[in-house]
Structure 1
Amino acid sequence: MDLLIPAISRIANALLMHMSQLELSLIAALLLLALVAADYIYIRPHRIKNLPSVPWMIPFWGNLSILFPQAHNYTQSPCSRFAELAQKHGDVFQVRLGTRTVVVANSYDSILQLWCYHNIRNNNSRPILHTFHGVLSQSKVFTVGTTPFGESYLKSRKYMSSKLLNESSNRKYNSSIIDKEATKLVRYMLSRTTDDIVEMDITRDCQYFHLGVALILTYGYEINARANRDEQELADEMVYVENYITKIRSHIQNVQDYLPWYLRLVFDIFHGKSKFARELYHRRNCYLYKFSQFTTSRLDMPDEYVRRSLIFNYVKNNDQELLNGSQLGSICLTMVSAGLDNTPLNFQYAMMQLSESPHIRANARAKLLECYNNNSIEAWNKCHADVLCPYVVAIVKETLRLFTVLPMSLPRETTRDIVVGDAVIPRGTTLFMNAWAGNHDRTRFFKPMEFIPERWLDPETGTVDTNLRHFSFGVGSRMCLGNNLAFKELYVLICKFLLMFEIEAAKEQSPSLHPLELNQFPESIAIEPIETHVRYTVNDKTLQEYVEGVYT
């Protein structure tokens, strides 16, 4: 390729030198006509009748200008652009992204209409995207959430749910691991305090927390990122690789995925994403192999963590008939990668909100202590076992809604025709959920840009209102399988931080709490806030002494 491009360039220059201006104009016109004809006959996807359509003019490209050039500020982010288009074309409209017709839902009600109700079984697949499914996942082992609908997906989802995430059979053990890793995080913070105060951005340490939970449950591997330099380098490598893989799998960052294969090759020459994706594939395989070897080498001498792990029980129970090796790999991949954006970024944002909301913080701590006889040690020891405090639940839900870590969610593909008004969305159509628009829909949420946990509570009973939803875990048949685990992680972390610390704004606090304005990468699939320190002051010395003493 390095020799071919200069050769083509020299030939083109030689031809141009011997052509007149008229000849060049005629050739350009003929090429343009050929492109338009080829696009019309072979490439252009069919428009859906009776569904509003965003106009486009450029052959092969369509409306890809929504995604490229990439956004440089939050007003240009894809969720903002789609929401702006919805003001003109309605809540549900179609766009042409290269070779695909994509239907976009931009409101609370339209998301429920397309993803739930009678359409819940009609859009339960994922579209195949070249960069993620073709280049990065060379072994054809995808996470469960990105696997297209089929027998393999159903088997992986069922096994993961029953053996790892089932609330009735696994809740007690999973919660105990969350409790242990959350305590490890708090103890590390206590070790960093000066005069009982520490100011920090909690994101990276919360990523270590989530990795700790995921690796113990999956492999029985306990990672100690803050106690061992090699372990920290391993954890940092995983965070880096998985973060970039999230970007590569993004349906809103990889324009080449929507282009014909020959234009995709040209596009990749200038951007090199395929080469980087292959590098990430090999780097990921290195640490996945390390963890797999760790477990399989201890099958005859397992400790408690290994004995309770997914891999150990798969081998010992001879579950090969239920699940093949590739499907097991899909589950392992899911546990390692899923949640590294969700839990840490949401928790950091919750701390930022609480640091600016002393009344919410005080109310939450009081409500939490009421559930445990106003005994902070009892609350510390039991908050992981059961979700008893509705007000903390409301804080978690409001954080998930307001922050919306994946503003454009993950795409779906219809497996059957879907009727929307007078339009019929055919099978095989890609659907985009503008989760940001749905979570901030003014017709459903009063003052949607304000942090109001009370909106999730019944004003008369104080219990959680189950009729109100958010879309931060997706919704419908392909809703995030690990949503209960992620929710429990956030709940336990918030409980323990409320019990141990006074949470206040640091001097370097960001001037804005608007999630999109905080985003370092407005073009990205996930909101990654700029580094923001929060001040944590120990507010319960008795609890501090207990935690430092009992957990030595």
Structure 2
Amino acid sequence: MIGNAIHLSDFPFLQHVTPFTLPLIAIGFTVASLLAYAVGTEIYRRKVRLRGVPGPSGLPIVGNLNQLGPDPADTLHQWGKRYGGVYQISLGTRPVVIFDSMKAAREVFIGQGTALIDKPVFYTFHQMLSSVASSIGTTKWSDSTKRRRKTAMSAMNRPAVASYLPFIDDITKTLISDLWSQGHGGEVAFDPRRAVSKTITDLTMSLNYGARLPPEEDLFQEIIDIEDGLSRIKTPLGSNQDYVPILRYLPGNNLSARAKEINRRRLVYLHRFKREMEERIEKQVDKPCIQGNCIKDPETKLDEIDLMSISMSMVSGGLDTMVNTIAWAIGTLALRQDIQDKAYNAICDVYGPNSWGPIGDENSVPYISALVKESLRTFTVLRLSLPRRAWKDIQYGEIFIPKGTTIFLNAWGCNRDESVYGPDVNEFRPERFAEDPDLPHAAYGFGTRMCAGFNLANRQLYILLLRLIWAFKIDLSKDPSEKYQQLRPLEDVSEPFHLAAIPPDYKVRLVPRNEEALRNMLAA
């Protein structure tokens, strides 16, 4: 009765409960719930798999996530050999179509480009990290995305890039001078990557904000740390909780909190750079730059989010692609003196040994252009291009890909396609592009959402490698403990799950080829 005390005797079925019974009931309920969850997700996973598209089967809850191995891009390439150039995997319960064949990728990503203009949304990156805006390459398709991309493409097309050549040349000279000083004229072996990172960041600042990177070591280190953390989350396979939602609620999972913190710290320096640029515009001491042109041009019609998105794209893109491609190339040239000698002789054939000549276009020294393309192909630092989402249905032969499907371009696999590059596909051989300058590579992706800055990246890589090879003989360390015997882009990558393939630590000596000519060129 209401108001009376409740006694165990009122519930006869509980009179035999022991202190161990309730925990056992709780454990049993938990096990039953997990089993029901596993069965339910497996039923759903099988239901949403694409009919008629081959691929590995996978497991309940995780799909194929546990099978990707230490290097996911190469695992996907090996599966491509087994299942064909176009196949499907399951990431959690999400079906993902993989393009691992150069022929299939070009026919669909270029031939049916409008069907692949959209981008999928991921919980960690889009909801936790990108609270204000996200880069152009990661944003869902919309009128705003279209405006941003059009503006970025205009700012980085061939004529625009030609106007940036004085910036690129000036900052390249700074890099050459720093490397000369840091290496003590070739006597000291060192890792050149930090100097290269600072150069690329400096160039990004000049092009996007109209001012060079402030000489603050703490600020530079903050940019490097945050952009590295961003890349670890932005990689298509960097966050299992995107595909297995239950992981978001496990104790000890701080990925979401870390993503929010990266976003907060990134916005601090991006807002600072924008504010300083606006102050220069107000004082009329600004220089032409992408952000300034957007603000001044009334027809651009970009809002604050659009401008922030372009800034994020500029800062992240160079550090992901440029720095690591150059790092792999420098380390490889130290091992491949034959290629380095060919490149130096090709430069001298055009400009002579006492001058690095005018910049020209990236075809002035064809062998350097071939060296750039082979570096992009062999190292493929963005092994999995940023994912796409089918904007409409896609038909490729007998394979039907419905609207809304997530699609990965395995650039690593396409750049290892033996039907395109021959049986020596794993060999670093610039001659393949010298013999056929129109040979394709997948380093920038394909189609309507390929890297918007590929013209700028090509020009930067060309100039940096040409200047480096003309200025220095790149050699191994004299210290046997610092020498390395090989630099393999698959086996020696330091962090395969990172967005960008990072080479292992190494040291080289940069020996000036002609100190007097080098000093004259830097002073010119």
Task: Please indicate, yes or no, whether the TM-score normalized by the shorter chain is above 0.5.
Answer: yes
Amino acid in the other structure paired with 1:541: E
C-alpha displacement of 1:29: 7.0
Tell me the residue number matched to 2:93: 99
Note the 1:268-279 alignment, pairs <5 A. 269-279=251-261
CA distance in 2, matches of 1:274, 1:338: 23
Q: TM-score normalised to the size of structure 2? A: 0.90
Tell me the residue number matched to 2:282: 300
**1:417–1:511 Cα change, 3 Å:** same
Report if the CA contact (8 A) 2:109-2:116 is conserved.
yes
CA distance in 1, matches of 2:349, 2:85: 43
CA distance in 1, matches of 2:102, 2:363: 27
Report if the CA contact (8 A) 1:449-1:514 is conserved.
no
Amino acid in the other structure paired with 1:120: G
Q: Tell me, which stretches of 5 or more residues in structure 2 are unaligned?
A: 1-16
**1:376–1:57 Cα change, 3 Å:** same
CA distance in 1, matches of 2:18, 2:94: 36
C-alpha displacement of 1:512: 2.4
CA distance in 2, matches of 1:523, 1:45: 29
SS in 2 for 1:340: helix
C-alpha displacement of 1:107: 2.4
Amino acid in the other structure paired with 2:396: V
Report if the CA contact (8 A) 1:354-1:360 is conserved.
yes
C-alpha displacement of 1:165: 1.0
C-alpha displacement of 1:158: 0.7
Give 2:116's match in structure 1, choosing from 111, 120, 123.
Answer: 123
CA distance in 2, matches of 1:25, 1:276: 32
Tell me the residue number matched to 2:206: 216
C-alpha displacement of 1:237: 0.8
Tell me the residue number matched to 1:7: none
- Deviation by residue 1:291-348 (Cα, 9 ceiling, x = unmatched): 1111111113343xx32122322333334x6212211111111111111021111111
Amino acid in the other structure paired with 1:472: A
Which 10-residue stretch deviates more, 438-447 or 235-244?
Answer: 438-447
Report if the CA contact (8 A) 2:362-2:462 is conserved.
no
CA distance in 2, matches of 1:421, 1:478: 23
Report if the CA contact (8 A) 1:245-1:280 is conserved.
yes
Note the 1:330-345 alignment, pairs <5 A. 330-345=309-324
Report if the CA contact (8 A) 1:410-1:432 is conserved.
yes
Give 1:327's match in structure 2, choosing from 306, 325, 347.
Answer: 306
Residue 376 in 1 paired to residue 354 in 2? yes
Give 1:454's match in structure 2, choosing from 412, 428, 431.
Answer: 431
Tell me the residue number matched to 1:490: 461
Note the 1:377-456 alignment, pairs <5 A. 377=355, 379-380=356-357, 382-383=358-359, 387-446=363-422, 447-456=424-433
- Deviation by residue 1:333-385 (Cα, 9 ceiling, x = unmatched): 1111111021111111111221122222122112122223x2532x34x1256
Amino acid in the other structure paired with 2:193: T
- Deviation by residue 1:489-511 (Cα, 9 ceiling, x = unmatched): 11001111111111122242333
Q: Percent identity?
A: 28
CA-atom RMSD in angstroms? 2.3
Give 2:273's match in structure 1, choosing from 281, 291, 310.
Answer: 291
Say how many residue pairs are matched. 504
**1:273–1:27 Cα change, 3 Å:** closer
C-alpha displacement of 1:235: 1.1
Give 1:524's match in structure 2, choosing from 491, 498, 512.
Answer: 498
Q: TM-score normalised to the size of structure 1? A: 0.86
Report if the CA contact (8 A) 2:392-2:404 is conserved.
yes
- Deviation by residue 1:503-522 (Cα, 9 ceiling, x = unmatched): 12224233322112222212
Tell me the residue number matched to 1:366: 345
Which 10-residue stretch deviates more, 204-213 or 24-33?
Answer: 24-33
Residue 81 in 1 paired to residue 46 in 2? no
Give 1:51's match in structure 2, choosing from 48, 53, 64.
Answer: 53
CA distance in 1, matches of 2:105, 2:83: 16
Report if the CA contact (8 A) 1:398-1:456 is conserved.
yes
Tell me the residue number matched to 2:233: 248
C-alpha displacement of 1:259: 2.2
CA distance in 2, matches of 1:408, 1:55: 21
Report if the CA contact (8 A) 1:376-1:499 is conserved.
no
Amino acid in the other structure paired with 1:280: I
C-alpha displacement of 1:93: 1.5
SS in 2 for 1:101: strand
C-alpha displacement of 1:177: 0.8
SS in 1 for 2:236: coil
**1:90–1:41 Cα change, 3 Å:** closer
Report if the CA contact (8 A) 1:45-1:101 is conserved.
no
**1:266–1:25 Cα change, 3 Å:** closer
Report if the CA contact (8 A) 1:77-1:522 is conserved.
yes
Note the 1:131-150 alignment, pairs <5 A. 131-139=124-132, 141-150=133-142
**1:370–1:97 Cα change, 3 Å:** same
Report if the CA contact (8 A) 1:197-1:538 is conserved.
no
SS in 1 for 2:117: coil
Report if the CA contact (8 A) 2:109-2:446 is conserved.
yes
SS in 2 for 1:122: helix
Q: Tell me, which stretches of 5 or more residues in structure 1 are unaligned?
A: 1-13, 459-463
- Deviation by residue 1:437-491 (Cα, 9 ceiling, x = unmatched): 1111222213111111010123xxxxx521x111111111111001111111110
SS in 2 for 1:50: coil
Report if the CA contact (8 A) 2:101-2:413 is conserved.
yes
State which structure, 1 or 2, has the greater radius of gyration over its C-alpha atoms: 2
Residue 266 in 1 paired to residue 259 in 2? no
CA distance in 2, matches of 1:548, 1:121: 47
